[in-house]
Amino acid sequence: MHPLLLTLFIGALLLRVGSVAVSMRHEKALKAHGAREYGRSNSHLLAAAHVLFYGGALVEGLWRSTQLTRWTTVGIVLYVLSIIALLLVWRELKGLWTVKLLIVLVVGLPLYLLVLRRRIVQEEQVMHEHFPHYATPRFPPRDQDTNMGHPSS
């Protein structure tokens, strides 16, 4: 793996760990002010999917001895743009931001997409229940996607 790519990967990993630390601090403060967590088990599945994705990316990069190419440069540019978007979201949401609000679509990881869909359905249901004027979900929840209104399931 090209040393620059490995350095960028380590930097991205440190940024991810730092964002989780910020998220945990925000989550603790929000819960202290009465916030409730919905879909806790799904959050754990999302975390596991992220760990597997990052681990797989590193293993593949090392195994294939990935070098800087036009395509890796495109990937780096897209990543930098996504970090800029994340920083803008952080700035706007301040202490309300947690990783549970951060949704990233990953092409080619069906398991991740299934878990993500379940999470979105849960979030839509909660928003609809607590905010009567919130738009009706496009995808009505299936029974197994919901926890019947109970938090932290």
pLDDT at 46 over 70: yes
Q: What is the pLDDT of residues 100-152, one digit of tens each?
A: 743 344 344 566 677 778 888 888 888 888 887 776 556 555 655 555 555 55
Residue 28 and residue 55: Cα distance in Å, rounded? 28
Residue 75: its pLDDT value, please?
Answer: 93
Segment holding 18, helix H or strand E: helix 3-32
The pTM for the full model equals 0.62
Q: Which bin fits 94, alpha (ψ -120 to 50), beta or left (φ > 0)?
A: left
Q: Are 102 and 41 in contact (CB under 8 A)?
A: no
Q: How many other CB atoms sit within 10 Å of the CB of residue 62?
A: 13
Report, as an integer, the average pLDDT of 5-28.
93
Higher-scoring residue by pLDDT: 32, 87: 87
**For residue 54, what are its two tokens?**
């990052």
Comparing 14 with 98, the larger pLDDT belongs to 14
Looking at the predicted structure, is the pLDDT value of residue 80 above 90?
yes
Contact partners, residue 89, CB within 8 Å, separation at least 6: 97, 101, 102
Helix, strand, or coil (residue 13) = helix
